[in-house]
Amino acid sequence: MFQKILIANRGEIALRVIRACREMGIRSVAVHSTADSDAMHVRMADESVCIGPPPGAQSYLSIPAIVSACEISGADAIHPGYGFLSENANFVQVLEDHDITFIGPTSDHIRIMGDKITAKDTMKALGVPCVPGSDGGVPDLATAEKVAEQIGYPVIIKATAGGGGRGMKVARTAAEMTRAFQTARAEAKGAFGNDEVYIEKYLEKPRHIEVQVFGDGKGNAVHLGERDCSLQRRHQKVFEEAPGPAIDAETRARIGKVCAEAVARINYIGAGTIEFLYENGEFFFIEMNTRLQVEHPVTEAIFGVDLVREQIRVAEGLPMSFTQDDLVLNGHAIEVRINAEKLPNFSPCPGRITAFHAPGGLGVRMDSALYDGYVIPPYYDSLIGKLIVHGRDRPEALARLARALGELIVDGVDTTIPLFSALLAEPEIQAGSYDIHWLERWLERNLAA
Ligand code: MV4
């Protein structure tokens, strides 16, 4: 059994992990930069270690700093949260070499899914439906043109080392290919130090549907349905819901089974998310995330499970506390991301919180590390809270979200809160009929400065 877990993160996700530790009787160790000495995660943990100066590269992203903090505090395991080192295969390799348990998948699985071509090859071989495209990397323009002629325009050129939307270019016609291919390669080289690219058929109006999976590392795995995360701005999710409004029970069971069987076959351990584009009733795999995601609470709400507790259990070698048959989908959940950002441009808005009041009541969860008087530092991402609501059905969840947003007070900095009240008034949001381009188009019509 773990006696002590170090949380290699900050903000609301650090609190999320500390809470799970406390309920399990495990001591928690917070790490923090000098900018975060007064942060809530430091206050809430059983102990804390200062790991460096404010910039992430010298603190939350510093492998030697985190490993030293682990050895100083005598922690048995590290929970990485999301972002920072959570999908860094080299970090996990170092922990494996130091006999520190990483609460997450193996370095091999992280490496496989981090390389987008290897990830796609792996998933394809496991029977997961993929977007039609090149067989692996595309070395030159002539090959790119040949592949595009075969699958038909429009196509999208993606960086093998990319993911999350960075380093992608669309070519709508053969005439656009030269430029798109060269730009994609140059951007991939600049952003990732690796200019390998691959090509896919470009899907015009898909939804972003992601399936939550969970494995025990011993060949057993389950799925916990899907989330629809189509409402994004510049590849940042802003509103997520589960179940997906466009997915029926039969479809969920079918794609869920494919995903659970795939991760079982590779002995995957812990939480994972298999991302798909969904168009005209078909799923197309794009990427797998080998971490706990920001939006995991909507899945927790509808299945009534604690995913962090399960991550800790399987990392200790215990079985998951449920089987597929135990997982019964109940109701509907929605999460909105509260960012310290100024509309209409979403420019970061750090500063002092002069008043904070979290909403409450039935079916309301607020995950946030804010408190009255807290000063949001300018060094990290702008997520300051997540409001999650759960209702018996989607209309009830929407009404509850409107009600909870009315109770929420965050004063002193600009936030994305006003965006959500405006979105809730939209008939297409009420109806659940939106795709991955809906939000950007809506923002252009409604917020353009
Ligand atoms: C695509 C696509 C259309 N066709 N792939 C963007 C993030 C990365 N994870 C994958 N992305 C896309 N891949 C094909 N073959 C459109 C996108 C995309 C997108 C995907 C999910 C959510 C929002 C998006 C916004 C723009 C483009």
State which residues of the chain have pLDDT below 70. Answer: 449
Closest ligand 1 atom to Cα of 287: 9
Does ligand 1 have an atom closer than 6 angstroms to the CB of 200? yes
- Res 162: pLDDT: 85
437 alpha carbon – ligand 1 mean position (Å)? 9
Residue nearest to atom 24 of ligand 1 (CA): 436
Rg, Å, the chain Cα set = 22
Does ligand 1 have an atom closer than 6 angstroms to the CB of 436? yes
Instruction: Tell me if the pTM is above 0.95.
Output: yes
165 alpha carbon – ligand 1 mean position (Å)? 6
pLDDT in tens, 107-116: 999 999 999 9
41: nearest Cα among 393, 401, 368:
368
Closest ligand 1 atom to Cα of 155: 15
Does ligand 1 have an atom closer than 6 angstroms to the CB of 287? yes
Residue nearest to atom 25 of ligand 1 (CA): 436
Closest ligand 1 atom to Cα of 202: 4
Does ligand 1 have an atom closer than 6 angstroms to the CB of 338? no
Does ligand 1 have an atom closer than 6 angstroms to the CB of 202? yes
Active-site annotation, residues: 291
